[in-house]
Amino acid sequence: MIKIIFEAHSTTFDNEAEISSGYNDVDLSPLGLRQSHELGERYRLVHLDGVYCSDLQRAYKTAAIAFSGTFTPIFTDARLRECDYGDLTQVEATIIKNQRGERVKNPFPNGESYEQTCVRMMQFLNDIAKRHSDGDKIMVIGHRATQYGLEHSLKQVPITEAVTASWKWQPGWDYELKSKKVG
């Protein structure tokens, strides 16, 4: 089994303003910078075979700050992005929250659905299963949609249940993935 630790990206200016960023490439706030350093401290003594993060700067900077000065390789992957809210990018967070259940199959206007984000996650996990071996431990730093995809793909939580469940930050969520390497 490949062990996966999911960590949410650190706090952004949009998070503080209670705005849903989606594909908007918003930066970390001063609080987010501190949180990124704290993330690094939590994992200072943990060996990771890789850190994979969204290519949006809030996820990449979280990883870069947390693992600065270590030998842990960091890889960006666009498949780990937040859901594309399309025309609703940067609206009040409550608007997105109230529509999540409706957007499982039906995409946000000019955006994508949560089913589509889960397809991205499955493609990513298939690649990870081929790249890593049993006993490897990786971290994924991403967004809510990233975690919804992990919950659905690795814990078989129905997508609707994953996206509508209440969410509360915690220091890491653990998942396991079967390796597809032979020999």
- Do the domain assignments include residue 46? yes
- Do the domain assignments include residue 181? no
pLDDT digits (tens, 9 = 90+) for 49-73: 999 999 999 999 999 999 999 999 9
Other CB atoms within a 10 A radius of the CB of residue 150 amount to 23
pLDDT digits (tens, 9 = 90+) for 110-149: 999 999 999 999 999 999 999 998 999 999 999 999 999 9
CATH of the domain at 8: 3.40.50.1240
pTM score over 0.75: yes
* Helix axes of 57-66 and 30-42: crossing angle, nearest 10 degrees: 50
- Do the domain assignments include residue 51? yes
For residue 180, pLDDT over 80 is answered with no
Question: Which residues constitute the domain of residue 113?
Answer: 2-174
Provide the domain count of the chain: 1
Q: Where are the alpha helices (DSSP H) in the chain?
A: 13-16, 30-42, 57-66, 93-99, 114-131, 144-155, 159-164
